Amino acid sequence: MTNHAQHNLLHAYLDDELDLVRSMELEDHLVECGDCAHEVASYRSLREKLASGNLRYQAPADFRLRLLRKFEEQKAPRAEHVFFQRRLPWWSWAAVAACLLLTVVMLVLDVNQHRERNLMSELVSGHVRSLMATHLTDVLNSDQHTVKPWFTGKLDFSPEVRDLSGDGFELIGGRLEYVDGHSAAAVVYERRGHVINVFMWPSFGSDQEPHTMALQGFNVIEWRRAGMYYCAVSDLNQEELSELSSMLRS
Amino acid sequence: MGNSADTGEKVARFEALVWPHFDAAYNLARWMTRNASDAEDVTQEAMMRAFRFFDTFRGENGRVWLLTIVRNTCLTWIRRHLPQQNSAEFDERLHTDLHASLTPETEYLRQATGEQVRRAIEHLPPEYREVILMRELEQLSYKEIATVIQSPLGTIMSRISRARSMLRQLIDEQRRSEVKQND
């Protein structure tokens, strides 16, 4: 047999990198040529082996946090430094008074933001803890009809648990959390190896559109709907996390 | 004052666009350096470098952009620490013609343990190891890999083909050497 397919082509075919015409030509060839078909089968099982082998290395959580802190530090101390260097014009008491007034207003606004940010930090920490310890889930099950009843009796509300495996979000399980002084449900999903914690608890107030932010290297989306507060935390990219949040809201 | 606001905003943007790919960065560094403490050094250096060059980021694929930097940092590390490592030995030993040996590979591949696969990947020369990692673990397309390692598509194609054929053989060797030890 001399007209075997070029080796490169077999791999490009396996990797879905061939255009339609070429991949059809190759498929025709595979029907006729047992050797090439054998090669394709062999490399396919090699790829499966690599995909199933759990070969990714996870960065140690303390290393991740250490490095993050380095970046966070670049934000904070710099600001203080500049503030103290700034000299207020001595004659401008009015300006000083205005500044003071502004500061008070900002402070009031800031306290709110601060509270929100603290809550977010708490949720992100909850997410990190769930990854570090072997305590990702209290109930490990990909069936929503098992996970949802599990919460009953443990919480005074019924959390939202969806089967989104058809949309690429695998349900991993659920966990009880204690956040901001009350109990919360954490429903855990996974996408391409990225763990997503969706925290939820009852919260009064009108519905709130999703609000996205990045915190300590994690993407966070929060929203409120039908008397429940939701917050999704993950190292998954923003677009895909938004996808999940819009599916949960639909 | 504007300065610190800029820095703050830069950090925030960096955290949103680049940090989500931290795991991919560490994974690549860990595989390329083949040990945990060097992996941390390389990852840290790469992240710092990425932050420094963040102004050149034009909103393209963040993972590809970051992996390019990590890969270059790894390359520098390898040149400094393993200067004599080259693939000549592998090339000769593994130079087999296409279809020359048709053993029932499918079967032994299925039976190979995770540890054997891991060791086999570690034995691949760096230029082949990196394309396997980017393709199989990070699921980058040929075009994306071409961007990361700054080579033409044709090179990526032949490197992947070559890397898989080496890997298949290395897994077989791992398996055989273990069988021998157990005899």
Would residue A1 count as lying in a domain? no
Subunit contact B19:A214, Cβ cutoff 8 A: yes
Question: Between residues A121 and A196, which one has the greater pLDDT?
Answer: A196
**Domain presence at residue A123:** yes
Q: Give how far Cα B152 sits from Cα of B136, B145, B149, B164, Å.
A: 19, 9, 9, 19
Tell me the helix, strand and coil percentages in chain A, rounded to 5: 50, 25, 25
Average pLDDT of the residues in B171-183 = 79
| Phi, psi for residue A94 in degrees, rounded to 5 | -60, -45
Give the separation between CA B162 and CA B164, rounded to whole angstroms: 5
Residue A158: per-residue pLDDT: 86
Q: What is the mean pLDDT of residues A3-18?
A: 89
Contact A186, A160 (CB under 8 A): no
Report chain B residues whose CB lies below 8 A from the CB of A42.
Answer: 105-106, 109, 168
In A154-227, DSSP assigns E strands to: 170-179, 182-191, 194-202, 208-215, 218-225
Looking at the fold, whether A31 and A109 belong to one and the same domain comes out as no
Interface of A with B in 98-157 (CB under 8 A): none
Q: Which residue has the tokens 């803890």?
A: A129
**Residue A85 sits in the same domain as residue A121:** yes
CATH number 1.10.10.10 given to B88-182: yes
Please give the residue range of the domain that contains residue A28. 7-52
**Six token digits for residue B45:** 């250096």
Q: What percent of chain A has pLDDT over 90?
A: 34
Report the predicted TM-score, pTM, of the whole model to 2 decimal places: 0.60
pLDDT tens profile A81-125:
444 445 555 555 676 677 777 787 777 776 666 677 788 888 888
- Find the range with the poorest average confidence among B31-40, B82-91, B138-147: B82-91
Rounded to an integer, what distance in angstroms lies between the CA atom of residue A158 and that of residue B30? 42
Q: What is the third-level CATH fold of B2-81?
A: Rna Polymerase Sigma Factor; Chain: A (1.10.1740)
pLDDT at B100: 45
pLDDT value at residue B99: 43
**What is the number of structural domains in chain A?**
2
pLDDT for A217: 83
- pLDDT at position A81 is 47
Chain A environment of B158 (Cβ under 8 Å): 8
Interface predicted TM-score of the whole assembly (ipTM), two decimals: 0.85
In a domain, A198, yes or no: yes
Domain ranges within chain B, ordered by starting residue: 2-81, 88-182
**What per-residue confidence (pLDDT) applies to B183?**
64
Task: Number of helices (H) and strands (E) in chain B: give both, helices first.
Answer: 10, 0
How do residues B50-62 score in pLDDT, each as one tens digit? 998 998 898 889 9
The stretch A129-157 carries a mean pLDDT of: 77
Residue whose pair of structure tokens reads 């929203």 in the numeric block: A223
CB contact under 8 A, B136 and A47: yes
Residue A236 forms part of a structural domain: yes
